[in-house]
Amino acid sequence: MVSTYSCLLFAILMVSMSMICRACENGKIYDNTITEKDISDVIEAHNMYRATIALGKLKTQPPAEDMQKMSWDNELSKTAHYWANQCMFKHNGDRGRYVGENIYIVWYGGPHTERTHNFTEAITSWYEEHVYYNYKTVEEEDFNDPTTQTGHYTQVMWANTNRVGCGFSSYYQTENQQDEVLYVCNYAPTGNYLGQYPYIIGKPDCKAHGLSNSDLDGLCKQE
C-alpha cells in the first residue's frame, strides 16, 4: 500500500516524471489486444473442461452436481488487462476481495520475434493440474509447490464461479532479453476458499441447488 501511495503522490507532484509509474517497467509490449477469438477461446475452454468434469468424463475426478456455466465479463477483463500490462508474473493484490485470479507465463529463448498468444494453452495448463488433485477441500499447501500445485485447477472448477475476464501482454523483457507472454484471468465470484470443496459430488442436478440447466450439458445457470 505504501508503494502505491508514494507512486501516486509522485505522479501528482511531478507529472513530468510519472513515467516512473508507467506499466511494464522492464519490457516493451507489442501486443495486448483481446480479440473476439480470444474471448470465445477463454469461454469455450473453461466450459469444455468444466463440463468434462461435471459429467464425470475424466475418470480420475468425481462428477459435479452444481457446476455453473461461465460467461465473459468485461469488468474482470479490464482488471486482468491492466495487470497483464505490468509485465510481472505475480498476483494482483488489488483485484478486489471477491475476485479470483489465475496467471500463466511463457518465456521464449532466442532472438526477439513477435510471439502469438494462445489462451487455450494457458487454460489447458491450469486444467492439467488435475493429475495432482484428489477431490478434497482447498488448503494453503495446495498453492505452495509450483510443480504440483492445484489452485489454478480448483479455480477453473469452482462451481459457483460463473464469470471470467482475461487479459494478456506479449512483450520483450529488456532485462532478461527475451520475449514473454503473460496471461491473467480474473474470476467472480472467487473460488478457492480455504476449507471448502470446489463443487458438490454427484450427477449434474441444477434444480437441487436452486439453479436451472444451461444450454451446455452438465452445466447450470442462475435462474
Ligand X SMILES: *[C@@H]1O[C@H](CO)[C@@H](O)[C@H](O)[C@H]1NC(C)=O
Distance from the Cα of residue 117 to its chain's centroid = 15
Closer Cβ to ligand X, 21 or 58, answer by number:
58
Residue type, 217: D
Distance in Å, CB of 147 to ligand X, minimum? 19
Distance in Å, CB of 127 to ligand X, minimum? 10
Q: Please tell me the distance from the alpha carbon of residue 191 to that of residue 163, in angstroms, as a whole number.
A: 11
For 33, the grid coordinates are 489486444
- Give the other-Cβ count within 10 Å of 197's Cβ: 16
Q: Is 18 in the site for ligand X (CB under 6 A)?
A: no
Q: Quick one: which of 71, 118, 196, 213 contacts ligand X (CB under 6 A)?
A: 118
Ramachandran category for residue 47: left, alpha or beta (phi over 0 → left; psi -120 to 50 → alpha): alpha
Q: Is 44 in the site for ligand X (CB under 6 A)?
A: no
Q: Is 124 in the site for ligand X (CB under 6 A)?
A: yes
Q: Please tell me the distance from the alpha carbon of residue 213 to that of residue 206, in angstroms, as a whole number.
A: 6
Q: Is 120 in the site for ligand X (CB under 6 A)?
A: yes
Count of residues that bind ligand X according to CB under 6 A: 4
Give the residue among 218, 198, 195, 222 at the shortest CA–CA distance from 209: 222
Closer Cβ to ligand X, 153 or 199, answer by number:
153
**Piece of the chain touching ligand X by CB under 6 A; list 72-80, 92-100, 113-121, 137-145:** 113-121
Residue 77's SS3 state is helix
**Piece of the chain touching ligand X by CB under 6 A; list 66-74, 94-102, 118-126, 150-158:** 118-126
Cβ proximity of 133 and 151 under 8 Å: no
Q: Please tell me the distance from the alpha carbon of residue 18 to that of residue 148, in angstroms, as a whole number.
A: 40
Distance in Å, CB of 120 to ligand X, minimum? 4
Distance in Å, CB of 36 to ligand X, minimum? 15
Q: Is 148 in the site for ligand X (CB under 6 A)?
A: no
Q: Quick one: which of 121, 178, 202, 216 contacts ligand X (CB under 6 A)?
A: 121
Distance in Å, CB of 116 to ligand X, minimum? 7
> Angle at the Cα of 31 (from 119 to 89), degrees rounded to 5?
60
Catalog residues that contact ligand X under the rule CB under 6 A: 118, 120-121, 124
